[in-house]
């Protein structure tokens, strides 16, 4: 199955190469690609949002992961590959969920393209399986075959939580890295980028302070997620304890009865008032736990992607994370 996925990527690359050749001398993929502005392509929403705050109207910015799309099932289209091949700055996550990237970047080299990977901007954290959590194996290989899973049982590779931006302090590091790359690519507009960066970093630091204030005034420090848990950097930043049904990038959707029972018992023991679920989830597990315990459910944004309605209404990383401040306040008080 992994070989099949690689074959699909190779076919996409071939299609992109053919399209790129056909487009020589024709109109560009995007009508604004030749308007003199630098071109930025981002694979995920946080980097896209960071870039538009820094670059403003001085760049054309494309988000590859469409609003409402499940992040870990994304595969690039030929048009996406052409965008990557032609862009000045490419922003990606940099982890196992983007295994297609290496082939794309090798096949469509661009010596003038700068790349910033979010995972390279921070100290990465290994994914972990907490007490009661549904066990998993190689969860990024959604269509991997079982034989391959057992080939190297004794040589398991380290897997890192890729959702580094869930800590506002990590977001500051990523923003600064994007800003530095933009200033190098477009030195004429560097003062503009730096001014926007300084203003944005102040807002991110204020967000961090708001989270710290909620935690310092709290009656408890336990969070329960009846869902995947892609928020390891967040809880480590603020010294919180968590329990969840699945690790951050797990492919599973149905937890075992033992996992559900453990979470129900934990909610009752810790007197937790809120069960969280994440965006673009069916939140069935959270609903089931809430029904058994009499507590309510609430959304906690990871910001890896955004719903179509939130995107259309102009929601940003900051506005989504500020909603998390209030959600956290209700969960800890």
- Which domains, ranges and CATH numbers included, belong to the chain? 2-25+36-125+161-204 (3.40.50.1980), 218-332 (3.40.50.1980)
- Under 8 Å between Cβ of 37 and 58: yes
CA distances to 2, 133, 257, 308, 323 from 315, in Å = 36, 32, 37, 10, 11
**pLDDT for residue 288:** 96
Neighbours of 301 (CB within 10 A): 23
Residue-wise pLDDT tens digits, 111-166: 899 999 999 999 999 988 888 887 654 444 444 444 444 444 444 567 899 999 99
**pLDDT for residue 71:** 81
Spans in the chain with pLDDT lower than 70: 1-34, 135-157, 249-253
**pLDDT for residue 150:** 45
| pTM, rounded to two decimals | 0.86
**pLDDT for residue 96:** 83
Query: Which class for 79: exposed (0-12), middle (13-18), buried (19 or more C-beta within 10 A)?
Result: middle
CA distance 195 to 186: 14
CA distance 65 to 70: 8
CA distance 82 to 113: 13
Q: Where are the beta strands (DSSP E) in the chain?
A: 38-42, 59-63, 89-92, 114-117, 222-229, 241-247, 274-277, 296-299
Quick one: angle between helices 45-55 and 168-185, nearest 10? 50
**pLDDT for residue 57:** 95
**pLDDT for residue 34:** 61
**pLDDT for residue 197:** 98
**pLDDT for residue 267:** 97
């Amino acid at each position: 199955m992994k070989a099949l996925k690689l074959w699909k990527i190779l076919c996409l690359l071939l299609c992109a190469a053919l399209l790129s050749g056909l487009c020589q001398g024709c109109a560009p993929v995007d009508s604004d690609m030749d308007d003199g502005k630098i071109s930025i392509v981002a694979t995920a929403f946080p980097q896209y949002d960071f870039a538009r705050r820094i670059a403003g109207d001085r760049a054309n910015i494309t988000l590859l992961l469409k609003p409402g799309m499940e992040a870990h099932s994304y595969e690039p289209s030929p048009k996406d590959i052409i965008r990557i091949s032609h862009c000045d700055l490419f922003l990606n996550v940099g982890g196992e969920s983007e295994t297609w990237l290496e082939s794309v970047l090798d096949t469509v080299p661009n010596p003038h393209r700068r790349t910033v990977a979010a995972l390279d901007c921070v100290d990465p954290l290994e994914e972990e399986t907490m007490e009661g959590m549904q066990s998993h194996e190689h969860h990024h290989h959604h269509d991997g075959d079982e034989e391959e899973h057992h080939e190297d049982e004794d040589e398991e590779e380290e897997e890192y939580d890729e959702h580094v931006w869930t800590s506002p302090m990590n977001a500051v590091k990523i923003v600064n890295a994007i800003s530095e790359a933009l200033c190098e690519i477009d030195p004429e507009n560097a003062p503009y980028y730096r001014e926007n960066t300084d203003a944005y970093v102040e807002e991110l630091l204020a967000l961090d302070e708001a989270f710290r204030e909620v935690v310092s005034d709290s009656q408890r420090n336990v969070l329960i997620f009846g869902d995947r848990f892609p928020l390891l950097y967040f809880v480590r930043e603020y010294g919180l304890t968590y329990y969840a049904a699945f690790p951050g990038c797990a492919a599973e959707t149905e937890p075992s009865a033992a996992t559900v029972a453990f979470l129900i018992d934990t909610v009752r023991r810790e007197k937790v008032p809120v069960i969280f679920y994440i965006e673009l989830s069916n939140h069935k597990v959270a609903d089931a736990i809430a029904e058994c315990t009499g507590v309510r459910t609430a959304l906690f944004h990871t910001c890896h992607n955004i719903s179509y309605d939130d995107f259309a209404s102009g929601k940003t990383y900051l506005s989504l994370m500020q909603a998390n401040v209030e959600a956290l306040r209700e969960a800890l008080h």
